[in-house]
Amino acid sequence: MSAQRRKLMRVLEGETVSPPPIWLMRQAGRYLPEYRATRAEAGSFLDLCYSPSFATEVTLQPIRRYGFDAAILFSDILVIPDALDRNVRFEEGHGPRLEPIDAIGIAALDPEPVAERLTKVIEAVASIRAALPQETALIGFCGAPWTVATYMIAGHGTPDQAPARLFAYREPQAFQRLIDLLADLSAEYLVAQIDAGAEVVQIFDSWAGVLGENEFERYAARPVRRIVDSVRSQRPQAKVIAFAKGAGLLLKTYRQATNADAIGLDWTVPLSVARELQKDGPVQGNLDPLRVVAGGEALDEGIDAILEALGQGPLIFNLGHGITPQAKPEHVSQLVARVRGAR
């Protein structure tokens, strides 16, 4: 089967496919016992990300178990800051920690070694593509410049990313330099993933929702457009999904502003709004991840509402954010069966 006829690719080309293709953000993760076993064997989280064999194994685990229509590279949005020597580490119970950066540190960033330091991730992409079933699409990804920058400025995640927002107001030139550097490095990184076998790439802007209108255009939409334009100029065949979590009404122009093939929707986007956005092209989403935790009737009702509202247009069925560690594997089986038509 050619990549062009994979279900995910057909939807990204604007086709309505029934039942729609399905994959889940964080589908390889802590809710799966096989992932936890591999994670324990690998050592640190970054060791897992940087080992082609371990990254391949955990990427394939949900495909073996559920037969999703797409696999997504197992990695992390912070591998680029790690390659920039920002001392990225993951502390149990606290999430990512980095060395916070200031204007002087931004000016001193050296992008030269980044591509070489990420070669193991690219090796994993090639290994995953070789091991996947022919009918399964492979998605590569990166973090959006705004979201990655928020972690680099604060050194960790915060509830409203106030440190990065304040830095952008006080040091706009330095912050713009950081955003532009991250956009250019991200584009190179995505092109390398595409060359290794990814047909689709997703740009995750997990913290887009904390920005005001002007800042959203400057630090979220415009940098993603810079990435998309760069990737398209080098690899015209690649498809791009842009996911701006929490963007709300700003999603009305996000597809046009970024030139993405599809836009991901979080669970707070009303289905009536999602239907309007779908008139302009494919949408992805947007089941509340907590419905997967709940299972049962709550899960079925959420799935059915999305299929009823969006199933007559180009839809990639997904969650509105990543699957949580509390989700039960059998609830994911319920989800897949429901989407694919089992009653």
Q: Which residues are catalytic?
A: 26, 30, 39, 76, 151
- Is residue 242 within 8 Å of residue 205, measured between CB atoms? yes
Q: Taking phi first (over 0 means left), then psi (-120 to 50 degrees means alpha), and beta for anything else, what does residue 285 get?
A: left
Burial class (CB in 10 A: 0-12, 13-18, 19+), 279: exposed
- Is residue 157 within 8 Å of residue 95, measured between CB atoms? yes
Q: Which residues pair with 242 in a beta bridge?
A: 203, 263
| Structure token pair of residue 297 | 């009737």
Closest listed residue to residue 310, CA positions, set 339, 343, 332, 289: 339
Residues 6+ apart with CB under 8 A from 265: 251, 274, 277, 283, 284, 285, 286, 320
DSSP conformational letter for 207: T
Burial class (CB in 10 A: 0-12, 13-18, 19+), 272: exposed
Q: Helix count (H) and strand count (E) of the chain?
A: 18, 9
For the stretch 50-54, contacts whose Cβ atoms lie closer than 8 Å and that sit 24 or more positions apart, written own/partner, are 50/79, 50/120, 50/121, 51/120, 51/124, 52/120, 52/123, 52/124, 52/127, 53/127
Tokens 């589908």: give the residue: 27
How far apart (Å, rounded) are the C-alpha atoms in residues 84 and 113? Answer: 8
Tokens 């009823």: give the residue: 308
Dihedral sign, Cα of residue 187, residue 191, residue 192, residue 197: positive
How far apart (Å, rounded) are the C-alpha atoms in residues 238 and 22? Answer: 19
